[in-house]
Amino acid sequence: MSARRHLAWGLASLLVLAMAIGLWSWIARAGLVSAVFLPGPERTWAAIVKGLQSGVLVQQTGQTLRRMVLGWGLASVLGIGAGAVIGLSARARVWVLPLLEGIRPLPASAVAPVAIVFLGLSEQMILVLIAFGALWPMLLTTAHGVASRPARLAEVSRCLGLSRTAYLRKIALPGALPDIFGGLRLGLTVALILAVVGEMITAQGGLGTRILLAARSFRAPDIFSGVVVLGLIGLASNAILSLAEAWLLRWRPR
């Protein structure tokens, strides 16, 4: 895409955002929804500024971000590792994949009580919850990507005398990268959601706890400020991932 078209698309999406905020502001001011439930953008913005000045919101954002990144990282290592093994071995696919397909549809929220039994309402429990939920997209995309490499490259690897690990590192995983990125992206969204859910369950601080406590005491601007920050985290983390993807997959034909 040309730089000019890029700019045009960027401006268009900004315009849509501005219109949405305008609509939100209008609904709030017209009193279509009670101000107790729906604060306007102005009051939400004020809550954000206050949170930033007192440092509370900064701290909560940091906590949520840290959990999301740690849980997502854990899921990536486990998911890509296990996915590579499963993708490489036809036997592993036959034996293990049906089991995994059976576990995968379990909602992470249903797994939470189990995690609580073993780990209590703790930091570790949140991380396990995130890792469990975010693991599947990475595992399945990696397994699929590794398994669907063209057979020719496996032959090239044998002809060159590459070891099995060298094949995995230099051919199978880089070749699966376009698929893996799909999993990383999905996993990131899941990780953010589960970080918030975990924080709501455990009350260990973070934006999830902020939103939960604010809801209990009807502090709508605090709820909305938390939601807005979560939206920004989602947007920013996806943008960073897109940049990494564009760089790492720059070899793809355009």
The answer to whether 158 contacts another protein (rule: CB under 8 A) is: yes
The answer to whether 160 contacts another protein (rule: CB under 8 A) is: yes
DSSP character at residue 108: H
Rounded CA separation 59/61 (Å): 5
Q: Cα angle at 216 between 230 and 110, to 5 degrees? A: 65
State in angstroms the smallest separation of the CB of 144 from another protein.
18
Rounded CA separation 192/145 (Å): 25
State in angstroms the smallest separation of the CB of 66 from another protein.
32
Among the residue ranges 82-90, 98-106, 155-163, 218-226, the one whose residues contact another protein (CB under 8 A): 155-163
| Residue with Cβ nearer another protein (42 or 155) | 155
The answer to whether 166 contacts another protein (rule: CB under 8 A) is: yes
Rounded CA separation 190/196 (Å): 10
Contact present, 27 and 37 (Cβ < 8 Å): no
Binding characters for another protein, 174-193, by CB under 8 A (x = yes): xx-x----------------
Rounded CA separation 208/200 (Å): 5
The answer to whether 164 contacts another protein (rule: CB under 8 A) is: no
Quote the tokens at residue 147: 């398994």
Among the residue ranges 65-73, 104-112, 119-127, 159-167, the one whose residues contact another protein (CB under 8 A): 159-167
Rounded CA separation 141/121 (Å): 31
Binder among 111, 162, 215, 241 for another protein (CB under 8 A): 162
Contact present, 138 and 79 (Cβ < 8 Å): yes
Binder among 91, 159, 216, 247 for another protein (CB under 8 A): 159
The answer to whether 249 contacts another protein (rule: CB under 8 A) is: yes
The answer to whether 171 contacts another protein (rule: CB under 8 A) is: yes
The answer to whether 150 contacts another protein (rule: CB under 8 A) is: yes
Among the residue ranges 88-96, 136-144, 148-156, 214-222, the one whose residues contact another protein (CB under 8 A): 148-156
Instruction: Write out the E strands in the chain.
Output: none
DSSP character at residue 168: I
State in angstroms the smallest separation of the CB of 158 from another protein.
4
State in angstroms the smallest separation of the CB of 89 from another protein.
19
Rounded CA separation 64/68 (Å): 6
Quote the tokens at residue 194: 């589960």
Interface residues with another protein (CB under 8 A) are 150, 152-153, 155-156, 158-162, 166, 170-171, 174-175, 177, 249-253
